[in-house]
Amino acid sequence: MPKVVDKARMRDEILEAAMGVFVEKGYHASSVSDVARAAGLAKGTLYIYFDSKEAMTTAIVDRHFATLEGQIAGGEPCETLDAFLDELYATMDIPAEEASFHRVFFEVFGPSFASDAFTCHVARFFDRLGAHYADRISYLQQRGEISDQLHAPSMARALASMMDGVVLHMGLFDINRRRYRRMLRETIMMFGAGLRPIPDKRV
């Protein structure tokens, strides 16, 4: 009988190694050899588990977004604006290294890549995230927790973009933890005040 390997686990280990290398050196500067070395395998072995460097990359992106979507999916609807804000805070309060990984996605975006499967993938994710937020916002609007002057879908999608911007900047620009936390606090505060229904009239 041949050596028995847990294929799924092996794939995962390779992806982990690949992510590390990509984050470290950037996608285009990372060769398949680099990934192999990081995974402690021979170059050829990678090709047993993945058809190509691109396939490997797709798998990374898939996995990453599957995780994220899992996080979205679950969860009771928030009953108060404050609970919603806490959720948003938690979403943005990710470790720096996770945020760093975002830059790999960007390297992989755009027409350099054979397929624009990535873009679609990520675009869909953010649309889904937007829809998710829209649901929560609508619900809170019914409960009078959020101003019903706001157009829930547009607001929600914009919210997703803004949050992505904040997280992205942390990952890209080495903003330190302390400073980042301050930024987060302000952001959430503004979101709160911005969403909350107000008695007086607004433009």
Partner DNA sequence: GATGAATGAGAATTCATTCAT
Partner DNA sequence: TATGAATGAATTCTCATTCAT
Nearer to a copy of itself, 106 or 139 (CB): 106
Instruction: Pick what 47 binds: a copy of itself, DNA, none; C-beta below 5 to 8 Å, kind-dependent.
Output: DNA
Nearer to a copy of itself, 109 or 139 (CB): 109
Q: Which of 16, 53, 147, 188 binds DNA (CB under 7 A)?
A: 53
Q: Which residues contact 99 (CB under 8 A, 6 or more apart)?
A: 167, 168, 170, 171
> Which of these segments, 26-34, 99-107, 133-141, 151-159, binds DNA (CB under 7 A)?
26-34
Exposed e or buried b for every residue in 134-157, given b needs 16+ CB within 10 A?
A: bebbbbbbeeebbbeebebbebbb
Between helices 152-173 and 177-195, what is the axis angle to 10°? 170
Total chain residues near a copy of itself (CB under 8 A): 61
Q: Which residues contact 154 (CB under 8 A, 6 or more apart)?
A: none
**Residue 36 CB, nearest distance to DNA (Å)?**
8
> Which of these segments, 10-18, 54-62, 72-80, 168-176, binds a copy of itself (CB under 8 A)?
168-176
- Asked if 68 and 125 touch (Cβ cutoff 8 Å), the reply is yes
Q: Which of 24, 26, 52, 110 binds DNA (CB under 7 A)?
A: 52
- Asked if 71 and 93 touch (Cβ cutoff 8 Å), the reply is no
Q: Which of 18, 19, 26, 48 binds DNA (CB under 7 A)?
A: 48
Measure Cα distances from 174 to 128, 179, 181 in Å. Answer: 28, 10, 13
101 to 140, contacts with a copy of itself by CB under 8 A? 103-104, 106-107, 109-113, 119, 122-123, 126
Query: Would you give the end-to-end CA distance of the chain in angstroms?
Result: 75
Please tell me the distance from the alpha carbon of residue 9 to that of residue 116, in angstroms, as a whole number.
Answer: 28
| Interface residues toward DNA, by CB under 7 A | 1-5, 7, 10, 29-33, 41-45, 47-49, 51-54
| Interface residues toward a copy of itself, by CB under 8 A | 2, 24-29, 42, 44, 82, 103-104, 106-107, 109-113, 119, 122-123, 126, 147, 149-151, 154-155, 157-158, 160-166, 168-169, 172-174, 179, 182-187, 189-196, 198, 202-203
